[in-house]
Amino acid sequence: MSTLFLNTLIFKKQLDAHEKCQSELFQTVKELGASGIEVRREYFFENGLLEDMARCGEQAKKFGLHVFYSVPEKLFVNGKVSDRLETYFREGAVLNAENIKLNIGEPPKLNSETVRIIEDLMQTYPIQLTIENDQTEENGRLNFVSATLEGLCALDSPIGYTFDLGNWLWQGADPVDAAKKVGRFTTIFHLKDVSKKNGPQTELLGEGAIDWVSALSICPTGIPVVIEYPIESLAALRKEITKVRDVLTKQKEGARVMSEVITIGEPMIMFVADTKGELKDVQHFTRYIAGAEVNVSVGVSRLNHSVSLISQVGDDPFGAYIRLFLNKEGIDTGLVSVNNCYPTGFQLKSKTEVEDPEVVYFRKGSAASKLDKIAIDNIDFSGAKILHLTGIFPALSAETFNATLRLIEKARENNLLITFDPNLRPTLWKNEETMKARINQLAGLCDVVLPGFREGKRLTGRTTKEKVADFYLNNGAKTVIIKLGNTGAYCKRLKPDGSVAETVVSAFHVDHVVDTVGAGDGFAVGIVTGLLESLPDAELLERGNAIGAIQVQHISDNEGLPNREHLAAFIKQTALKTVNAKDQSDNALKAI
């Protein structure tokens, strides 16, 4: 559920009259039941109360409030990152702020170097940065804001976006239409109502011209909602807070349509070595997002299917960045909770082109590993069609294994098709025997099982693809699709009349393999989306092979996942491998 913040502009009358300074508002905000406070830079500097910054930082700790920092300055000045940006970050650090908001300004032609400068500051302090549509012609036009956000998204920028609901009226734009166009980028929602009488001016909710409930429902669920307009009395403020809470509660409990695909897993920050060699010798890394279920979610979303990820992240910069990434990829984060007791997991990955990379995980005791079956009980599965699982999440802890079992039970109650990719992570299990028993137990509860051939042999003790498939069909699965690595894929399916159908499809030719990690997840994307579209088995395997082949040509686990146009072009333009009898032998097959 969204967290409620109060912006200190609410108390404009007292601040303008110097009856209060911002640090004296923290106790009131806490007593009103808000989760956080957004302080404004102008009230420190224009009122000559710069020393009040440090007091705000102290009050934040005392009352356990999250702090956002509103800076009415430009991020980009004359086409360059503002020379004062680091100053604002230093001030944010004094405030114990988690987010700094600036106006867009005059951005350059955005490139990775521009993003890197900003990202370095965010990692140094660390504080999230967002940009806002303000009331000016320069920064408030919808097409300009949209183009800027699209450009940042294309660069995988970590910069967030504050959607200011009322500011659109100053540029003659409809706030609901604006939400439809740029709402998906939103990481913070600034709430206000505005009247058009005598020119735009803020009003209490429901007394202006904005359909704020509809606009809020368009933006991602779970984001912070900030009340940001002057309110004359505490009694009126309490009524406004009640209005907002009632809407947020109804949105949580109401007729929320679930995505077509549901998955559960652990998103992690992944640091990939910039140079080849052993991880112990690497000095510089590039940050990405990892996690098998995240990879599948990204791929499903890019093929224009809706997907919800169930997970839990820490209340830390890694967790904030993950939620930002998921929102930008169009993945529903309404079921991604934030835990302030446990951290977000991360991993290190070596750079190599000749073999599987070295990967080291830092996920023990992570927030995701503490997600239990209680979190599953309140999920509404209405409208969902497929539950996709892997063997990774249930391996994290006893809690996550039981949560997975409960999720399967709920999916069965709601008639979802269940797909399962074993995705073995032996280091997460107590021992080999436990891993085999638990993975095979889960596979037997699912409809479609997606092992790699090497995985299948390890889990079942069978030595041919046909016998591996038979093991799972006899154990409860209805379809088994086996990844045959660089030669293709094999499907064995039970038909309604009790007979079986077998299909083999060759792999696509790939000139240059960059990184094989994530290829299996890409294959799963093809299968899951193909099942949604009722593709015949041959086309199902073709799509899985194609996405896996595209993904191995990229260093990140998910950056290469295609949209529909890219996928169609690849299938049309790329030759299939010619597989001879020797290559078809099971001993020659290499699992993904």
Q: What positions carry a catalytic annotation? A: 521
How many other C-beta atoms lie within 10 A of the C-beta of residue 556?
A: 22
* Complete edge-to-edge strand list for the sheet that includes strand 285-290: 285-290, 268-276, 346-351, 359-362
Residue 200 CA to residue 206 CA, distance in Å, equals 15
Cβ atoms within 10 Å of 31's Cβ, excluding its own: 10
Those residues with Cβ within 8 angstroms of residue 500's Cβ, 6 or more apart along the chain or in another chain? 473, 492, 493, 494
Dihedral through CA 545, CA 298, CA 184, CA 2, nearest 10?
A: 150
Helix, coil or strand: residue 39? strand
Angle between helices 537-551 and 519-532 (to 10 degrees): 150
Cβ contacts of 464 within 8 Å, gap of 6 or more? 586
**Residue 536 and residue 488: Cα distance in Å, rounded?**
16
State whether the Cα torsion 184-189-191-196 is positive or negative. Answer: negative
At 223, phi and psi to the nearest 5?
-80, 155
DSSP-based three-state secondary structure for 293: helix
- Pairing of β 193-195 and β 188-191: unpaired
Integer Cα distance of 296 and 34 in angstroms: 36
Largest CA-CA distance found in the chain, in angstroms, rounded: 86
Would you say 570 and 167 are in contact if contact means Cβ atoms under 8 Å apart? Answer: no
